[in-house]
Structure formats: structure tokens, C-alpha cells
């Protein structure tokens, strides 16, 4: 702690696989959102403008009421 790893979120295109949407961020280690939790939940943080509802609700991203989000967390700099 604090959590400092680079994070990429990717909304997967379930139609052609050609239009995945992604956004990345590197946490601010001074933010309480990424420090060791001292209560049940830290203050939320993320990508509030990741994708609009209009885009999200197309048949490309939601199929049979299901969507897939891939989360990639870098392991660079972690000590084993």
C-alpha cells in the first residue's frame, strides 16, 4: 500500500471484436482512494467518462444482457 499500479479497463466488442473501448489510469498514491482501507470501503475512484450509456447499450457491447470488461493491472515494479 498504497496501490500504485497502472490500470487499463477495456469494454469488449462482442460483435466483430474490432471496436473494443479502453481507458487507462495510474492511481494517485496520495489519494485516500488508493491507500490501505481502514473502513469497509475507500472513496470510489475510476474513469467516470469511460463510455456513454448510448454507446454501452448498443448490440456491440451488450449481448444477451451481458457485457465483458477486461481489467489489466500492471505488475511492473512489484516485488515478488
- CA 1 → CA 29, 39, 43, 58, distances in Å? 8, 15, 15, 38
Reported as a single tens digit per residue, the pLDDT across 55-77 is 888 878 998 989 999 999 998 87
Distance CA 80, CA 73 (A): 15
Q: Give the per-residue pLDDT at 3.
A: 84
pTM: 0.76
Q: Give the per-residue pLDDT at 50.
A: 85
> Domain map of the chain by residue range?
7-73
Amino acid at each position: 500500500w498504497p496501490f500504485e499500479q497502472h490500470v487499463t479497463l477495456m469494454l469488449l466488442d462482442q460483435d466483430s471484436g474490432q471496436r473494443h473501448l479502453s481507458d487507462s489510469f495510474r492511481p494517485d498514491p496520495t489519494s485516500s482512494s488508493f491507500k490501505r482501507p481502514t473502513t469497509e470501503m475507500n472513496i470510489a475512484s475510476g474513469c467516470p467518462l469511460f463510455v456513454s450509456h448510448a454507446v454501452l447499450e448498443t448490440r456491440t457491447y451488450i449481448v444477451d444482457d451481458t457485457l465483458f470488461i477486461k481489467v489489466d493491472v500492471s505488475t511492473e515494479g512489484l516485488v515478488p
